[in-house]
Amino acid sequence: MSPHTTRRWAWIHKWSSLVCTIFMLLLCLTGLPLIYHHEISHAMGYETEAPAMAADTPRANVDEVIAVAKALYPGKIMMYMSQEADEPNIWNLTLGDHPTDTNFKPVAIDARTAKVLAQHNFEDTFLGVMFHLHVDLYAGLWGKLFLGFMGLLLVVAIVSGVVLYAPFMRKLDFGTVRRDRAPRLKWLDMHNLLGIVTLVWALVVGATGMINTWADLLLKYWQFTEMAEMVAPYKNLPPPASLASMDDSMQRALAAEPGMKIGFVAFPGTPFTSAHHYGIFMRGDQALTSRLYKPVLVDAQTAQVTDNRELPWYLTALLISQPLHFGDYGGQAMKLLWALLDIATIIVLGSGLYLWLKRGAAAPAAAEAALPAAALEGLSK
């Protein structure tokens, strides 16, 4: 690689790293507790558990479950209801003043007895704060897009760091940390070593995080294309005067997709369906397929299935990227691996800041010339 090309890659690596590092540190710090969100919620008393009952205990009529939730909040309407893959005995319902209400009320109800189990509001918890700082900085769509741009800069920094790393390491064995040299040089070696070790993980998490920030835009695109096609016959019809039985609607959705389970239901007017339909999203029962959904549209007035089809590739890619980003689909071993790699990346980012702040200190010229080779967040240039 010519000196001119090296300088160009060094400039790209330097500024992509400098711009995104503070935000990447924030994302790594807030992402760490989110890896263990189930465990933390349980420890803090926010994880709702269904009472132990016989496996053959009959399930309550879903309409009764909805009636119990609406009795808690008279005047509010149903927005969503869902079940976690690992907790099928609890219905999680959200109610609001209108279909897109952001100040919604959550209710967890036993699917067998129709009794209220909890009314925890995730927004008010420690994990709720961590989630918003990690996802949108409390700035909605613009916050997501900004963090997505930071994720893009991270990917650029990783790629440029890899390009620069090989020539830098020609003079050293892999993994060398020159402990007998100046502290700054020792930190540079540690920075490069951890950077290259966490390279693949950081690239995967950075890329999937960037994809996740496009969720709102991808959903809007789906609404204006495939969803519009699915509900085209209802385009000029008035909203339904009354809503059909949700229990009947679910049974017909299950019959339309045998072998699948109900993941969540979007009520008329919410972003996942139309003003005339229940959007019943079916899922598989395996580690991966439980994260993938297939929409079944049910006429909210007649309870008849009107359309069901696979999600487009871009929403499937989004759904796959979400669990991969947090590492929460492979059990405790994968969570531990994700946590350790997250901590290593925090050290890489922190050491990069240290090297940048100490850049004015005396250092061997050769080391200074090699600084662009930091593999992830080389802020020492």
**Mean pLDDT in residue range 158-176:** 68
Q: Is the pLDDT of residue 123 over 60?
A: yes
Tens of pLDDT, residue by residue over 347-380, are: 888 777 777 776 655 344 333 333 333 333 333 3
Q: Which residue has the higher pLDDT, 20 or 194?
A: 20
- Please check whether residue 49 lies inside any domain of the structure: no
- Please indicate, yes or no, whether residues 143 and 17 belong to a single structural domain of this protein: yes
Q: Which residue has the higher pLDDT, 316 or 348?
A: 316
Whether residue 349 contacts residue 158, with contact meaning beta carbons closer than 8 Å, is answered with: no
Band (pLDDT 50/70/90 cuts) for residue 283 is: very high
- Please indicate, yes or no, whether residues 24 and 95 belong to a single structural domain of this protein: no
Q: From CA 108, how far away is CA 117, in angstroms rounded?
A: 5
Helix axes 183-197, 331-357, angle to 10 degrees: 150
High-pLDDT (> 90) share of the chain, %: 46
- Please check whether residue 87 lies inside any domain of the structure: yes
Q: From CA 366, how far away is CA 50, in angstroms rounded?
A: 63
- Please indicate, yes or no, whether residues 28 and 138 belong to a single structural domain of this protein: yes
By residue range, what is the domain housing residue 68? 61-126+222-326
- Please check whether residue 179 lies inside any domain of the structure: yes
Element (H, E) at 318: helix 313-326
Two tokens at 44? 């803090």
Two tokens at 123? 């927004």
Q: Is the pLDDT of residue 1 over 80?
A: no
Alpha carbon 375 to chain centroid, angstroms: 25
Neighbour count for residue 195 (Cβ, 10 Å): 28
- Please indicate, yes or no, whether residues 96 and 137 belong to a single structural domain of this protein: no
- Please check whether residue 271 lies inside any domain of the structure: yes
- Residue 232, classified by CB atoms within 10 Å of its CB into exposed (0-12), middle (13-18) or buried (19+), is exposed
- Please indicate, yes or no, whether residues 155 and 17 belong to a single structural domain of this protein: yes
> What is the pLDDT at residue 369?
34
- Please indicate, yes or no, whether residues 257 and 320 belong to a single structural domain of this protein: yes
Q: Is the pLDDT of residue 119 over 60?
A: yes
Band (pLDDT 50/70/90 cuts) for residue 186 is: low
- Please check whether residue 50 lies inside any domain of the structure: no
> What is the pLDDT at residue 303?
95
Band (pLDDT 50/70/90 cuts) for residue 325 is: confident
Neighbour count for residue 320 (Cβ, 10 Å): 16
Band (pLDDT 50/70/90 cuts) for residue 176 is: low
Tens of pLDDT, residue by residue over 81-90, are: 999 888 889 9
Helix axes 215-222, 140-168, angle to 10 degrees: 120
Q: How many domains does the chain have?
A: 2
Whole-model pTM over 0.85? no
- Please indicate, yes or no, whether residues 170 and 306 belong to a single structural domain of this protein: no
Band (pLDDT 50/70/90 cuts) for residue 189 is: low
- Please check whether residue 366 lies inside any domain of the structure: yes
Q: From CA 298, how far away is CA 254, in angstroms rounded?
A: 11
- Please indicate, yes or no, whether residues 20 and 164 belong to a single structural domain of this protein: yes
- Please check whether residue 264 lies inside any domain of the structure: yes
- Please indicate, yes or no, whether residues 337 and 251 belong to a single structural domain of this protein: no
Q: Which of 39-48, 95-104, 294-303 shows the lowest mean pLDDT across its residues? A: 39-48
Structure-token match 């009952």, residue found: 53
Tens of pLDDT, residue by residue over 33-47, are: 999 888 888 788 777
- Please indicate, yes or no, whether residues 118 and 203 belong to a single structural domain of this protein: no
- Please indicate, yes or no, whether residues 209 and 348 belong to a single structural domain of this protein: yes
Which of 304, 326, 348 is the last residue in one of the domains? 326
Task: Quote the mean pLDDT of the chain.
Answer: 84
- Please check whether residue 303 lies inside any domain of the structure: yes
- Please indicate, yes or no, whether residues 150 and 290 belong to a single structural domain of this protein: no
